Amino acid sequence: MKASAGGYVRATDLGHALELLRQADGMGRVLAGGQSLVAAMNMRLTTGDMLVDISRLSDLSGVTEDGDTLRIGALTRHVEVGSDPLIAAHVPLLADAVRYIAHAAIRNRGTIGGAAAHADPAAEFPACLVALDARLEATGPDGTRTIPAEAFFTDVFETSLRDGEILTAITVPKAASGERHVIEEVARRSGDYALAGLCLVKRAGGHRLALFSVGPTPILATSAMEKLDAGDLDGAVAALAEEIDPPSDTQASAAYRRHLAGVLLRRAAAKLQGDAP
């Protein structure tokens, strides 16, 4: 039977969820942890959708090793990302990011796949995934495909997920020996979304720097990365100011966000050098 708009169905497996989305004919909305979607519904920012609840699909949860990568199920909750021993050992950036995300109640329900699919430009995980050069796995009516994080986030709350697709897992490279990860942000209060933030990864092959809350998507700061690779921190801060175009809003001006980005880069670089706590 074709599901009616405004309904709710709990999917029993991935195939069932995909079929429910197909039946909903464009009106289906995937419900994972509900920490962003339900808030949007309460604020009447989204209405009339057919909710396809995937939260009980245990196959989409958990962390496994796969050679030199970790595979993180889309339904792995923030609190699990923060406490998982494989993530702590091999991708510390993600574990460190969790302490900046919202509050305990939200971290207990919110999922890493939900955070990626929601694509809030101020969220921590999307920028982490870009900095780590992660791959996102999506399954839909046409099968399964893998999307590089840089291509996944396309605009404010927009991703390259197609209609009827479900994000199933995220694959991240394990840190090689000597690799360092740092996340830094400034927020008005603990648990608030950041006014500006960044993720810095130092690999043998060079630096990767991704910023959040300074543009419509996570920003991979390639000019600043080149300067960091050359050991020119002042040049990297100057390059970063040129390559981001932050918004002004009620929280902060564009100029303040640009200033914060430079301050955060200096802090992160000091941490990489071991000069800062």
Ligand X SMILES: Cc1cc2nc3c(=O)[nH]c(=O)nc-3n(C[C@H](O)[C@H](O)[C@H](O)COP(=O)(O)OP(=O)(O)OC[C@H]3O[C@@H](n4cnc5c(N)ncnc54)[C@H](O)[C@@H]3O)c2cc1C
- Interacting residue ranges for ligand X, rule: CB under 6 A: 29-37, 39, 74, 101-102, 106, 109-111, 113-115, 117-118, 120, 123-125, 161, 166-167, 193
Q: Are 226 and 154 in contact (CB under 8 A)?
A: no
Q: How far is the CB of 228 from ligand X (least distance, A)?
A: 25
Our CB check for ligand X shows the closer of 111 and 217 to be 111
Q: How far is the CB of 102 from ligand X (least distance, A)?
A: 3
Instruction: Specify which residues 153 forms β-bridges with.
Output: 159
Our CB check for ligand X shows the closer of 52 and 200 to be 52
Our CB check for ligand X shows the closer of 31 and 244 to be 31
CA separation, residue 109 to residues 49, 115, 264 (Å): 21, 11, 29
Q: How far is the CB of 170 from ligand X (least distance, A)?
A: 10
Our CB check for ligand X shows the closer of 59 and 245 to be 59
Q: Could you tell me if residue 96 is left (phi over 0), alpha (psi between -120 and 50 degrees) or otherwise beta?
A: alpha
Instruction: Specify which residues 65 forms β-bridges with.
Output: 70
Our CB check for ligand X shows the closer of 114 and 262 to be 114
Q: How far is the CB of 248 from ligand X (least distance, A)?
A: 20
Q: Which of these, 237, 219, 261, lies nearest to 131 by C-alpha position?
A: 219
Instruction: Give the separation between CA 78 and CA 201, rounded to whole angstroms.
Output: 20
Which string of b and e fits 117-141 if b means at least 16 CB within 10 Å?
bbbbbbbbbbbbbbbbbbbbbbbbe
Our CB check for ligand X shows the closer of 53 and 179 to be 53
Q: Are 126 and 119 in contact (CB under 8 A)?
A: yes
In the three-class reduction of DSSP (H, G, I as helix; E, B as strand; rest coil), residue 17 is classed as helix
Q: How far is the CB of 254 from ligand X (least distance, A)?
A: 21
Cβ neighbours for 214, distance < 8 A, ≥ 6 positions apart = 196, 244, 245, 246, 247, 257, 258, 261
Q: How far is the CB of 29 from ligand X (least distance, A)?
A: 5
Q: How far is the CB of 112 from ligand X (least distance, A)?
A: 8
Our CB check for ligand X shows the closer of 109 and 180 to be 109
